[in-house]
Structure formats: C-alpha cells, structure tokens
Amino acid sequence: ACVWTHDEKPDRASKFMPPTILEVQNSSSPIMQEEIFGPLLPIMAVDSVDAMVDHINAGEKPLAMYIFGQRAAADEIISQTSSGGVCVNDTIYHILNPFLPFGGVGGSGVGRYHGKFGFDEFSHQRSVMYRATWLDPAARYPPYTEGNLKMFERLIVGPLLPRGVKWALGAIAAVAVAALAVLLL
C-alpha cells in the first residue's frame, strides 16, 4: 500500500496528526474494516461505477458517503446505495449545514439531528383527531354494502371525485375568482 502524508510530522504535545492518504488494494485491508475517526483517507480504485456500487452494498451502510466525480455518476451511486449523509465533490460540509439532517442508517446510527430535524427526532409528534358526534352515518359500520365498500375505496385509494367533476369544479372556481376580482376592482 502507498502512503502519502503532509510534510508535517505527528506531534503528541499539540495533538496534531497530519492528513494521510492510504492507497489500498482491496476491501480486506485492515483500514477498510473499521470506522475511521481521524485524518486518514483510504483510497481504493475500482473498475466502474457498478463495481463501486457493488462494493458499497456488500458492506455495512456507511455513516457518510463522499463521492468525487460527475453529477450523473454521483446520482447513479446515490440511487443504488444506502448511507447516512452524502457529499458530492466535498467532504464533511454536509454536517455543518443546519438545514440538512445528519445521521446514519443501520449499524452506523439511527436517527437524525441538526436544527429542526433533531428536535423532530426527539419529539413525539402525537396524532389527535376530534370528530363531531352529531353526525354518525350508518355507512361507517358493518354490514357493508357494495356501495359502502366502493365509497371507502374511493376515500382511501381515490379518486373521490371523477376527473370530469374535478375539472368542472376547478373551472367554476376559476370563473368565481375572476368574477370576484372584477367586482373588487
């Protein structure tokens, strides 16, 4: 393996370790087996984007993925893999953006934090629905007729209104808005 380092040497007193690039031949290299927390960057050449995707998908899901290259290749890699945050043609800066969630998936961590994402992650968003009791149609309760089942299907799957009816209501609303605008001017 080739090793490239910065001109400066490690200094224990100042806790400085220079950035180091490690060229590795395959994923069985010890540096490729653990999460790396430090200025170490292993680089492994692959023959194609497909080979890269296969390599990423063969292991644990990474906490972060840094892709250097053209947008089309990056989009292909992103769409075919799963990871925490992703930076294209940069490193680490996605962590600094308070408008992007940061967090991993699987073994690299569950959840998201930063700004509103962290608040939402640690907040219980409780669903509460109030329903008036003055109107309680019998159609809600069994035994269900064929008509009731069709209505429930339209409510859940859609469309509730046929396309022509939606179009007509939209046209009527547009005319009403235009007429209101003329009256107010």
Q: Write the pLDDT tens digit of every residue in 116-141.
A: 777 777 776 766 667 777 888 888 78
Going from the C-alpha of 6 to that of each of 15, 90, 168, the distances in angstroms are: 15, 19, 70
23: left (phi over 0), alpha (psi -120 to 50) or beta: beta
Q: Write the pLDDT tens digit of every residue in 8-65.
A: 888 899 888 888 888 998 888 888 888 787 788 888 888 999 999 999 999 888 888 8
Give the pLDDT mean for 139-159.
82
As given in the structure block, the two tokens for residue 160 are 């509730």
- Residue 77's pLDDT is 94
Contact by Cβ (8 Å): 25, 46: no
Contact by Cβ (8 Å): 73, 52: no
Contact by Cβ (8 Å): 104, 63: yes
